[in-house]
């Protein structure tokens, strides 16, 4: 088997961040070297609690968890979206946590993890990009230790979700998103376009809550929470799709495109503007940076990946 890819994961756990962590922790293709937490789907303290409870719930081996920024760089932050439940993670009633976070700030943790790594690491960012922007501004030298930065955020051709124009993670901290996406580092963005493609049906979620594995039961509970909240017969794997795109890039269609984050707009603040003009110049416009964008994914393939990681191939098919 190939050597697992060493990754750092930045989260605002978050029901769908929890699904992403379940996939990342279970996948033999990844070695999770640490988890950094940031305010987003809920307040920072709750994000940390949720992350630790989740790791306890699957009896994960010790993995460093660090608390980072408790608010965006400029804005006061968006109110926690009600869809994630009152605890931000589907109100599953998980006990604990028993394990603890590091006493070190997440930005310092990320710096050390990158600096001390023998080879560049992959960053998987599933939340407002506040921690990562602070890291790049404070310790720009770590840029050379980032092999690739995957970020869930923005929209390519899809509408927004936090506002008509903007996706939640980018709208939460547009300045941070601008710093990271326009950094010139190797970035792959996983926007709302593929985010909404990979589903778990209500029936599958119900079956998963009775699975043998704790991870599958938790994932089923989270998916069921979203089905109930939206009164829908399906839920999304959401952030977990970004992890799937790291594990299995062949399942994703990508384009290379110049991007810029709208900072000054009113209704458009936090929108990701891609230069999709047919006649776009060879060179990116001023202020735009070229990144890779996932425009679509092979949903059955990523469902199979998720099912295999959770050991529920019989419950989560094509």
Instruction: List residues near ligand BDR by CB under 6 A.
Output: 14, 16-17, 41, 81, 126-127, 152, 161, 167-169, 238-239
Q: Report in angstroms how near the CB of residue 81 gets to ligand BDR at its nearest.
A: 6
Closest separation in Å from C-beta 17 to ligand BDR: 5
CA distances to 156, 267, 285, 289, 293 from 160, in Å: 9, 11, 23, 21, 16
**Residues 6+ positions from 277 with CB-CB distance below 8 Å:** none
Closest CB to Ca ion among 69 and 126?
126
Helix (H, G, I), strand (E, B) or coil at 307: helix
Peptide bond connecting 97 to the previous residue in cis, omega within 30 degrees of 0: yes
Residue 2 CB, shortest distance to Ca ion, in Å, is 28
Dihedral sign from CA coordinates of 286, 40, 160, 216: positive
Question: What is each CA distance from 318 to 164, 168, 282, 298, 303, in whole angstroms?
Answer: 32, 29, 40, 11, 7
Q: Which sign does the torsion angle of CA 53, 54, 56, 62 carry? A: negative
Q: 9 vs 134, which CB is nearer to ligand BDR?
A: 9
Q: Regarding beta strands 289-297 and 187-190, do their DSSP bridges make them parallel or antiparallel, or are they unpaired?
A: parallel
| Segment interacting with Ca ion, rule: CB under 5 A, options 8-16, 30-38, 191-199, 205-213 | 8-16
Question: Could you say which of Ca ion, ligand BDR, none residue 167 binds, taking C-beta under 5 to 8 angstroms by partner kind?
Answer: ligand BDR
What's the closest the beta carbon of residue 84 comes to ligand BDR, in angstroms?
Answer: 7
Residue number of the CB atom closest to ligand BDR: 168
Residue 279 CB, nearest distance to Ca ion (Å)? 36
Q: Which of 55, 126, 227, 294 binds Ca ion (CB under 5 A)?
A: 126
The three-state DSSP-derived secondary structure of 251-265 is: HEEEEEEEEEECCCC
Could you tell me the smallest distance in angstroms from the CB atom of residue 305 to ligand BDR? 18
Nearer to ligand BDR, 78 or 315 (CB): 78
Taking the complex as a whole, the smallest distance from the CB of residue 238 to Ca ion amounts, in Å, to: 7
Instruction: State how far the Cα of 275 lies from the Cα of 104, in Å rounded to an integer.
Output: 40
Cα separation, 252 vs 249, whole angstroms: 5
Count of beta carbons in the 10 Å neighbourhood of residue 270: 28
Say which entry of Ca ion, ligand BDR, none residue 81 contacts (CB below 5 to 8 A, set by partner kind): ligand BDR
Which of these ranges, 61-69, 92-100, 122-130, 299-307, lies near Ca ion under the rule CB under 5 A? 122-130
Among ligand BDR, Ca ion, none, what binds residue 298 when CB lies within 5 to 8 Å by partner kind? none
168 binds, among Ca ion, ligand BDR, none (CB under 5 to 8 A by kind): ligand BDR
The residue ranges that bind Ca ion (CB under 5 A) are 12, 14, 17, 126-127, 239
């Amino acid at each position: 088997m190939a050597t697992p890819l060493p990754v750092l994961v930045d989260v605002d756990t978050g029901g769908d961040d929890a699904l992403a962590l379940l996939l990342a922790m279970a996948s033999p293709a990844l070695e999770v070297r640490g988890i950094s937490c940031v305010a987003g789907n809920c307040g920072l303290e709750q994000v940390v609690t949720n992350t630790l409870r989740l790791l306890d719930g699957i009896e994960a081996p010790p993995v460093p968890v660090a608390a980072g920024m408790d608010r965006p760089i400029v804005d006061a932050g968006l109110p926690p979206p009600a869809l994630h439940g009152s605890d931000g993670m589907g109100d599953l009633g998980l006990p604990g946590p028993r394990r603890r976070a590091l006493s070190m700030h997440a930005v310092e943790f990320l710096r050390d993890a990158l600096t001390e790594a023998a080879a560049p690491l992959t960053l998987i960012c599933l939340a407002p990009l506040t921690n990562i922007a602070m890291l790049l501004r404070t310790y720009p030298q770590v840029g050379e230790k980032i092999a690739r930065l995957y970020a869930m955020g923005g929209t390519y051709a899809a509408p927004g979700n936090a506002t008509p124009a903007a996706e939640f993670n980018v709208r939460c901290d547009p300045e941070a998103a601008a710093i990271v996406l326009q950094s010139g580092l190797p970035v792959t963005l996983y926007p709302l376009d593929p985010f909404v493609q990979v589903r778990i049906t209500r029936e599958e979620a119900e079956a998963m809550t009775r699975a043998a594995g704790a991870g599958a039961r938790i994932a089923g509970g989270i998916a069921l929470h979203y089905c109930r909240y939206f009164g829908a017969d399906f839920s999304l794997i959401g952030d977990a799709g970004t992890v799937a795109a790291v594990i299995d890039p062949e399942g994703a269609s990508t384009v290379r495109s110049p991007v810029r984050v709208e900072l000054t707009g009113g209704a458009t603040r936090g929108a990701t503007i891609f230069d999709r003009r047919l006649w776009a110049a060879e060179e990116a416009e001023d202020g735009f940076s070229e990144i890779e964008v996932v425009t679509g994914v092979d949903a059955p393939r990523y469902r199979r990946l998720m099912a295999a990681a959770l050991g529920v191939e019989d419950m989560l098919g094509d």
